[in-house]
Amino acid sequence: MTLRSRFPSYVDAVTTPVGRVLARTRITPNWLTTLGIVLTAAAAVSVALASPVLGGAVLILGGLMDTFDGAVARATGRSTPFGGFYDSVSDRISDGLILGGMAFWLRDEPRLFTLAVVALVGAEVTSYVRAKAEAIDLDCSVGILERAERAILLIIALLFHRWLLEPVLWILAVGSTVTVVQRVHHVWCQIDRDIPEELLALAVLDRAWSRAFKKAARRFYGERNFDPALDEHSANHRNDEPAQAADPGTEVPADRRHATRTDRSSERDRVEVIDAAEVEDEVLASVPDGPSGLRARLVPGRRSGTGRPRGPRP
């Protein structure tokens, strides 16, 4: 994010009064933008000629022109689409000029020269990615190192080049590369895409690791893609639970398996009682019931109703 995005009230508190003062001179925003390009070109020439301190001082003036052109445009009501376009183009030219001058100055030192070239390429690609994203109506105002931060770091590197040149070049090279990756990923997250079902299945689990996994997946795929897909997967999972319970091939929970075994044991005991009663009837039927009442003596409680109760008939 830019300094204006992070601290809008502080930036406006400084630039708005200056913009009103400059607006009284009848200077136009485009004049300030053009003057900023000229001053940045002069700073680049100074750096290329091995005068980094002078180049840093001139670069401060060029950066101020680029800062106050927008304030003048707001103060005079001259904010136009062409003004925004021209300001964006001037920023790309300024970045290329100053970083190109530094690369020429450091051409005899391979490590520093490489860092300057990487920073130059990263700065240009950072702006290009945002321009292409906005061309397809996508937001791309993210990144750890945008133009305002780059300008401040370049000024520091030039003014204090004896001590801070190489560390700042490392920050510019690495920061610009990371910013490009951030912006590409940010655009990737805004485009509709399918998320694997296996990943969503892991994300719905209520475990400590799954919550961390879900958070990481949301950041990787973007909330715009991940949250609706996760909600749909959770809804489908809840709808599938009754069907799985009715399907005999699905796994049954432990408590339900215990209840099923108990029911089956009771049914088996009831069937065994019924079978024993049927065998007894068959035995009694084979015994002749003569005058002596042999059948009655074999089962004395059968007629009086005091014998062993029989199981229920099927």
- What's the rounded Cα separation, in Å, for the pair 105 and 130? 29
- Three-state SS sequence of 88-155: HHHHHHHHHHHHHHHHHHCCCCHHHHHHHHHHHHHHHHHHHHHHHHHHCCCCCCCCCCCHHHHHHHHH
Amino acid of residue 96: G
**Total Cβ atoms within 10 A of residue 87:** 18
Residue with tokens 């070049």: 169
Q: Is 275 a catalytic residue?
A: no
Rounded distance between C-alpha atoms, residue 181 and residue 183, angstroms? 5
Sign of the dihedral through C-alpha 238, 239, 242, 244: negative
In contact, 39 and 67? CB cutoff 8 Å: no
| Residues composing the chain | 314
Asked whether 122 and 177 are in contact (CB, 8 A), the reply is yes
Helix (H, G, I), strand (E, B) or coil at 287: coil
Q: Choose the catalytic residue: 66, 87, 91, 95.
A: 91
> Which residues carry out catalysis?
91
